[in-house]
Amino acid sequence: MTAEAVADVVGRLAAAAKLSGDWSGHSLRRGFATAARRQGHALERIGRHGGWADGSRALLGYLEDADQWTDNPVVGL
């Protein structure tokens, strides 16, 4: 399946589900990273499985979103 075909399928399904916002194949990739992190998987394993380069700033940004409540330094103060 091409990237364009995936984007088309995801976009059509999101529209059918009446989801707001822009949905694409990228949504699946980001969602994978977020879900894997929430399940406790290591950064390196997530990145390598998803095809991100070691130290990817994009991946770190996605994981920061996933960790913002569970690894918040303000919790407990």
Judge contact between 38 and 51, C-beta under 8 A. Answer: no
Contacts of 45 (CB under 8 A, 6+ apart): 36
> Mean pLDDT across the stretch 21-29?
84
> Mean pLDDT across the stretch 20-32?
86
Question: Alpha-carbon distance 51 to 30, whole Å?
Answer: 12
49: pLDDT strictly greater than 90? yes
- The whole model's pTM is what? 0.67
Contacts of 30 (CB under 8 A, 6+ apart): 62
Closest CA to 59 of 44, 41, 73: 44
